């Protein structure tokens, strides 16, 4: 699905703009484009994670790391750590082999790394837990909580043989934070001009694959602008109620801006007519 979220830009005002003379409509159209560009940034702000500061990024990054570590455990974490080993025992108590656990602990304390790895594989096989490389599909299936979180009571699903692989996977998922926000920023940039007050983690420089568009339609009854967020999973991060609320606020700002612009134009015309 190419177009996943849409905000129609300030339609009720286009009829009012159409009543102005052509020389007046041009600055009005400019104001409309300026306000819709601001609206796109506002849409980014109300898209999950809410806000455009570093605080929501840090908070969500910490949650992602905690979620992933809840279901993926490092093989290194079990070395010399009986409590960690017991988390496996609780998954399949009927198939738990205390003698095998003692052999594993003895191999670890004796520095027999290869033997310890073989024994850990047997322990995990008995509990029905895979051991080896990261499996992103297990992470996706485990995200059954609100906002795609891994529930706090989720059980370990896999043991990762290489700890640095787990760190790399966590970092990879964290880099996706802000991708939907960047879709709105991309739409704002289609209107030209500068887009300010957007942090790097929510911007198109960080998320080059995040696409968005702004379609400007100039009709006889006035101009119309549609903002399109083309990130495939935008609907999961965007609340239509929040987007509509942002549009209402933008409409009020535009009405006020048009009023001020008309006053300034009338005052200038009056001075020139003297």
Digit-coded pLDDT (tens) for 186-198? 999 999 888 989 9
Per residue in 215-232, pLDDT (tens digit) is: 888 776 667 789 999 999
Q: Are 210 and 204 in contact (CB under 8 A)?
A: yes
Contacts 24+ apart (CB under 8 A), 105-110: 105/80, 108/79, 108/80, 109/80
pTM (two decimals): 0.80
CA distances from 72 to 92, 119, 128, 133, 186 (A): 17, 19, 14, 10, 35
Beta bridge partners of 118: none
| % of the chain exceeding 70 in pLDDT | 85
| % of the chain exceeding 90 in pLDDT | 47
Using CB atoms within 10 Å of the CB of residue 97, give its burial: 0 to 12 exposed, 13 to 18 middle, 19+ buried.
middle
Residue 27 has a CB neighbour count (10 Å cut-off) of 15
Compute the distance between CA of residue 69 and CA of residue 102 in angstroms, rounded to an integer.
25
Two tokens, residue 19: 């009543």
Per residue in 2-59, pLDDT (tens digit) is: 333 444 445 555 555 555 555 555 666 788 888 899 999 999 999 999 999 999 999 9
Residue 82 has pLDDT above 80, yes or no: no
Best CA proximity match to 197, nearest among 61, 47, 40: 40
Residue 11: per-residue pLDDT: 53
Best CA proximity match to 182, nearest among 142, 238, 144, 131: 238
87-114 average pLDDT score: 87
- The torsion angles phi and psi of 5, rounded to 5 degrees, stand at -155, 140
Q: Are 158 and 131 in contact (CB under 8 A)?
A: yes
Compute the distance between CA of residue 68 and CA of residue 166 in angstroms, rounded to an integer.
9
Using CB atoms within 10 Å of the CB of residue 135, give its burial: 0 to 12 exposed, 13 to 18 middle, 19+ buried.
middle
125-145 average pLDDT score: 92
Per residue in 148-177, pLDDT (tens digit) is: 999 999 999 999 988 799 999 999 999 999
Compute the distance between CA of residue 219 and CA of residue 212 in angstroms, rounded to an integer.
22
């Amino acid at each position: 699905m190419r177009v996943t979220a849409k905000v129609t830009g300030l339609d009720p005002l286009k009829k009012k703009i159409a009543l102005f003379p052509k020389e007046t409509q041009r600055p009005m159209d400019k104001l409309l484009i300026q306000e819709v560009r601001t609206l796109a940034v506002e849409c980014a702000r109300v898209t999950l994670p809410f806000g455009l500061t570093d605080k929501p990024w840090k908070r969500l990054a910490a949650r992602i790391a905690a979620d992933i570590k809840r279901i993926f455990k490092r093989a290194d974490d079990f070395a010399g750590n009986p409590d960690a080993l017991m988390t496996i025992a609780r998954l399949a108590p009927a198939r738990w082999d205390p003698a095998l656990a003692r052999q594993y602990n003895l191999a670890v304390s004796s520095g027999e790394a290869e033997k310890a790895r073989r024994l850990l594989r047997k322990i995990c096989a008995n509990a029905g837990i895979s051991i080896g490389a990261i499996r992103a599909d297990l992470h996706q299936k485990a995200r059954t909580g609100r906002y795609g979180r891994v529930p706090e009571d989720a059980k370990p699903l896999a043991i990762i043989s290489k700890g640095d692989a787990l760190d790399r996977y966590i970092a990879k998922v964290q880099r996706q934070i802000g991708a939907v926000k960047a879709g709105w920023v991309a739409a704002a940039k289609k209107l030209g001009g500068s887009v300010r007050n957007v942090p790097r983690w929510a911007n198109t420089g960080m998320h080059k694959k995040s696409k968005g568009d702004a379609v400007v339609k100039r009709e006889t009854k006035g101009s119309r602008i549609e903002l399109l967020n083309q990130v495939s999973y935008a609907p999961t991060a965007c609340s239509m109620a929040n987007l509509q609320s942002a549009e209402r606020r933008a409409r009020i700002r535009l009405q006020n801006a048009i009023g001020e612009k008309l006053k300034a134009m009338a005052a200038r015309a009056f001075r020139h007519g003297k």
